[in-house]
Amino acid sequence: MSDFDRVIERRGTHATKWDMMAKLSGINAADGIPMWVADMDFAAPPGVTQALAAVVERGVHGYYADNGSWAAALADWLARRHGLSIDPEWVSPTPGVVSGLGLILQAVSEPGDEVVVFPPAYHAFRKIILANERRILDAQLVERQGRYVMDLDALRAMLTPRTKVVFFCSPHNPGGTVWSADEIKALAGFCTEHDLILVSDEIHCDLVLDSAKHIPTIAAAPEVADRLITCVAATKTFNLAGAHVGACVTSNPELKRKLDARIAASGLGSYAAFGMIATEAAWRTGDAWLDELLPYLAGNRDLLDSRIEAAAPGARSMRLDATYLAWVNFSGTGLKAEDVAKRVSERARIFVSPGAQFGPGGETWLRFNFATPRPILREALDRLDDAFRDLRG
């Protein structure tokens, strides 16, 4: 049994989430609580710790030999957890999903080309597009019955001959949307119709809550396989972000050849041993740990949703079907976004992700990472209760 209630001190351990908080947020209080970047305050599955301990014990840290076991472990995991059959030959490891996105852009587009993003969307999409001198084409998500939907007709009207790639986030961050097979099929058909490369970032695919079910894009729309690259990783699922390894998967050999050429051109064809060993161990041994984690996260989500809506009348948390990133709209409180942000950072001493970071449509929202032991979450919620007390009359 994993003890997700156990508080592990992370301050002073090179933990971005905790140790970069003061610098990035200006929250200098010793008791600041970080609820921003997407990693969890939980220990990794025991099988990962054992695999890494064996490496440390041996004490020799030479180059990593990729004998195919890593991609095979990923293929086994996808088969076991998602009923998906992939050929390990389709897999290219990259130093994380975001670096994979950059390499994909370099492989399939030119500077000045446009990349479709569905905002509010994971902010690193925007950064990697701009860093690669491509342009962002924002296809605004629409909120319908408490969840996001894509408006492909609006997108169609915006396309230009320079639109080349679509960054699709499935499940979606933020908002935790688990897309239906019909929605994925419609997007895939759109990409075929307009000759676009579809990049399906499925890094959150294992963090699906309650009875929701993630459908891999390749399973919902196999007809799009030739123009599809799927990005996956063990790092979100098992809290191994520091391992910095992800995978790009495509069944199109020509697309894979182009991507592998960019990987080679950047000298990334040799992999970090600690990351490969940790993530392979996670896929091979992490099932039971994940099965215990998911209900714990669902419990945290329910606690946060109910308490935040009670603390700040008019605030509304989007019901998450996936991820541990609560997405809360404060527009109904009547407060200005800056006032809300100040209450959270100054009164509650909590560092959250500002909604504006996720692009158009995020301005009145805040994203709260609730993947933390319940004692920390409760403390954060008590402080938020205080921070908005005057609103409750």
Ligand X SMILES: Cc1ncc(COP(=O)(O)O)c(C=O)c1O
**3-state helix vs strand vs coil in the chain, percent to 5:** 45, 15, 40
Query: Helices marked H in the chain — which ranges?
Result: 16-19, 21-25, 46-58, 69-82, 97-108, 123-131, 152-158, 181-193, 217-220, 253-265, 273-285, 287-311, 337-342, 374-387
* DSSP per position, 227-242: GEEEEE-STTTTT-GG
Which of residues 33, 84, 187, 203 is near ligand X by CB under 6 A?
Answer: 203
Residue with CB nearest ligand X?
Answer: 96
Residue 193 C-beta: closest distance to ligand X, Å = 25
Residue 107 C-beta: closest distance to ligand X, Å = 17
Q: Find tokens 């697309």 and name the residue.
A: 255
- Measured at the CA of 65, the angle between CA 61 and CA 69, to 5 degrees, comes to 120
Residue 233 near ligand X by CB under 6 A: yes
Which of residues 47, 102, 120, 246 is near ligand X by CB under 6 A?
Answer: 246
Residue 201 near ligand X by CB under 6 A: yes
Q: What is the pattern of x (binds ligand X, CB under 6 A) and - over residues 14-43?
A: ------------------------x-----
Which of residues 84, 98, 139, 320 is near ligand X by CB under 6 A?
Answer: 98
Residue 259 near ligand X by CB under 6 A: no
DSSP conformational letter for 173 = T
Q: What is the pattern of x (binds ligand X, CB under 6 A) and - over residues 138-177?
A: -------------------------------x---x----
Query: Which token pair is 227?
Result: 């123009």
Residue 122 near ligand X by CB under 6 A: yes
Which of residues 35, 97, 136, 198 is near ligand X by CB under 6 A?
Answer: 97
Mark the segment that binds ligand X (CB under 6 A) among 43-51, 90-98, 128-136, 281-289: 90-98
Q: Residue 212, Cα to own-chain centre: how many angstroms?
A: 17
* DSSP per position, 243-283: G--EEEE-S-HHHHHHHHHHHHHTT-SS--HHHHHHHHHHH
Residue 44 near ligand X by CB under 6 A: no
Q: What residues make contact with ligand X under the rule CB under 6 A?
A: 38, 96-98, 122, 169, 173, 201, 203, 233, 235, 241, 246
